[in-house]
């Protein structure tokens, strides 16, 4: 099998097989590089879809996985426990906001969101005040399962499934200068008796096009929810683990959510795992001697010990290594590149939040996710040894924190070339 031609029966995610686009075969990865068997490596400028934080095959994380694999594979987690999960829970408690006292494990960002929504409704059910309305922000993304799609933006991605999606209340994205409209809409929804929770991606809407808004707006949204007793769910599946410059994006707004979703970087991006952290009142609303009031959620692989060992190693890296310094260095390099490129060529809406930098290319199409520019750009970048996957006409760079100055330069050189070529 060579790099691109490997007759395969795999049905790939978010891939239109009818276009016959080549599918690179990756044999191994290290740091910010993806290696094929027979070609130059690719620089992974999107952290393999936002999961890889410290770098691919990080030695500490891979060693923890190898060690754990000698001892314990999978055990039932309903009513049983194991040290790797206990270690993750203890160390999450130590590093995450103090009032998030409970750690519920699941397997992916989408399931962590499903769990959060079920916890929120369970909270109100347990208080005999059955509220069910969820408030969401327009252009949000929370995953691809039915519940997660329901609280996300509607569009071409979920049109066939729309009859199955439940109704939510939508507040507009807080575009610069229009923040008050967002806050006013939230206030009016929060006044309604049936409103259970707000779910948001703090500071950066990832799949929505790397849309960024200010910490003051995030803080103001949280204050409105608090004032009305509406639960605040922070979906930090993408923004967590340093992406925005701080451990959590919420930290920049001084916001502590009632429910927090974490996945992607939880294991450093090595293996799948997620947690939904909850405040004590959310847990207590399910606490009872009545078995009919327990939290009814589980999946077969809840808190897989090998995945937990990877998360434990990630937490150790955060405790013991200067991760925030690496992030600050990367953020400074990203802003320098964005500024440099802006001096030589023209593009719209340059923006940055921590390690994430984005810009919009001019397009003759309609813009947005289905813009025809995206696949052309992807190929253009791949031909230059760079993995970038633009969101429509939005090009963004979200690399692993270990990316070298030279590798980052290769990425931005390719972007500069694309800006003047398209
Ligand atoms: C990626 C993502 C999800 C979904 O996570 P999966 O692990 O892909 O299910 C949910 N929310 C946000 C904000 C994400 O970026």
Is 312 near ligand 1, meaning CB less than 6 Å away?
A: no
End residue of a domain, out of 300, 320, 340: 320
Ligand 1 centroid to residue 238 C-alpha, Å: 7
Closest CA to 417 of 380, 374, 379: 380
Is 108's C-beta closer than 6 angstroms to any atom of ligand 1?
A: yes
The model's confidence at residue 51, banded by pLDDT at 50, 70 and 90, is: very high
Q: Would 206 be classed as within a structural domain?
A: yes
**Rounded to an integer, what distance in angstroms lies between the CA atom of residue 112 and that of residue 117?**
9
Tell me, in angstroms, the distance from the centre of ligand 1 to residue 340's CA.
31
Q: Are residues 304 and 369 in the same domain?
A: no
In this predicted structure, what is the pLDDT of residue 5?
Answer: 59
C-beta 237 within 6 A of ligand 1: yes
Please tell me the distance between residue 258's alpha carbon and the centre of ligand 1 in angstroms: 19
Question: Are 134 and 280 contained in the same domain?
Answer: yes
Residues 132 and 117 sit within 8 Å (Cβ to Cβ):
no
Q: Is the pLDDT of residue 241 over 60?
A: yes
Atom of ligand 1 nearest to the CA of 51: 1
Backbone angles phi and psi of 170, in degrees to 5: -115, 130
The beta-strand segments (E) located in 129-267 are 133-137, 169-171, 195-200, 204-205, 211-212, 231-235, 259-262
Note whether 346 and 232 are same-domain residues.
no
Task: Return contacts of 298-303, CB within 8 angstroms, 24+ apart.
Answer: 298/77, 298/78, 299/106, 299/107, 299/111, 300/74, 301/74, 301/107, 302/77, 302/78, 302/105, 302/106, 302/107, 303/77, 303/82, 303/84, 303/85, 303/88, 303/105, 303/273
Domain that holds residue 222: 61-320
Q: Token pair of 341, please?
A: 């490129």
The pick from 108, 109, 137, 209 for probing ligand 1's pocket by mutation, whose C-beta has the most ligand atoms within 8 angstroms, reads: 109
Q: What is the pLDDT of residues 348-357, one digit of tens each?
A: 999 999 999 9
Testing ligand 1's pocket by substitution, the residue of 139, 264, 273 carrying the most ligand atoms inside 8 A of its CB is 264
The verdict on residue 145 lying in a domain is yes
Residue 404 lies in a domain: no
202 lines ligand 1 (CB under 6 A): no
For residues 79 and 218, state if they share a domain: yes
Q: How far is the CA of 61 from the centre of ligand 1 (A)?
A: 21
Minimum CA distance residue for ligand 1 atom 15: 238
Pocket test for ligand 1, best of 137, 143, 147, 203 (most atoms within 8 A of CB): 143
Query: 135-171: per-residue pLDDT in tens?
Result: 999 999 999 999 999 999 999 999 999 999 999 999 9
Average pLDDT, the chain: 96
Output the pTM of the full model.
Answer: 0.97
- Measured between alpha carbons, how far is residue 264 from residues 48, 81, 171, 225, 283 in Å? 10, 23, 26, 27, 24
- Same domain assignment for residues 184 and 199: yes
């Amino acid at each position: 099998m060579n790099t691109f031609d490997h007759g395969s029966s795999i049905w790939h995610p978010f891939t239109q097989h009818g276009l016959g686009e080549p599918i690179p075969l990756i044999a191994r990865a290290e740091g910010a590089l993806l290696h094929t068997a027979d070609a130059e490596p690719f620089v992974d400028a999107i952290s393999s879809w936002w999961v890889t934080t410290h770098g691919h095959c990080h030695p500490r994380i891979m060693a923890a996985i190898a060690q754990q694999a000698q001892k314990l594979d999978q055990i039932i987690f309903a009513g049983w426990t194991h040290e790797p999960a206990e270690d993750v829970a203890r160390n999450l408690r130590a590093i995450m906001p103090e009032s998030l006292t409970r750690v519920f494990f699941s397997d992916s960002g989408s399931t962590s969101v499903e769990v959060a929504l079920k916890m929120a409704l369970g909270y109100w059910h347990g208080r005999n005040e059955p509220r069910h309305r969820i408030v969401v922000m327009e252009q949000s993304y929370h995953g691809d399962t039915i519940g997660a799609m329901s609280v996300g933006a509607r569009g071409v991605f979920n049109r066939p499934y729309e009859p199955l999606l439940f109704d939510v209340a939508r507040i507009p994205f807080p575009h610069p200068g229009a923040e008050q409209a967002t806050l006013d809409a939230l206030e009016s929804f929060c006044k309604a008796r049936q409103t259970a929770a707000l779910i948001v991606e703090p500071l950066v809407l990832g799949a929505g096009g790397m849309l960024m808004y200010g910490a003051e707006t995030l803080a103001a949204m949280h204050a409105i929810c608090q004032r009305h007793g509406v639960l605040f769910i922070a979906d930090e599946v993408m923004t967590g683990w340093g992406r925005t410059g701080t451990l959590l994006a919420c930290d920049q707004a001084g916001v502590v959510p009632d429910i927090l979703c974490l996945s992607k970087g939880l294991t450093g991006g090595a293996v799948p795992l997620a947690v939904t952290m909850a405040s004590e009142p959310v847990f207590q609303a399910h606490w009872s001697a009545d078995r009919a009031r327990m939290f009814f959620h589980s999946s077969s692989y809840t808190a897989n010990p090998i995945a937990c060992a990877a998360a434990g190693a990630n937490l150790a890296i955060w405790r013991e290594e200067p991760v925030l310094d690496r992030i600050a260095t990367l953020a400074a390099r990203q802003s320098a590149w964005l500024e440099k490129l802006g001096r030589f060529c023209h593009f719209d809406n340059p923006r940055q939040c921590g390690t994430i930098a984005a810009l919009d290319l001019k397009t003759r199409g309609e813009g947005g996710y289905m813009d025809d520019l995206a696949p052309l750009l992807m190929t253009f970048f791949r031909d230059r040894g760079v993995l970038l996957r633009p969101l429509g006409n939005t090009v963004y760079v979200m690399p692993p924190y270990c990316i070298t100055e030279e590798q980052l330069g290769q990425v931005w050189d390719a972007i500069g070339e694309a800006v003047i070529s398209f």
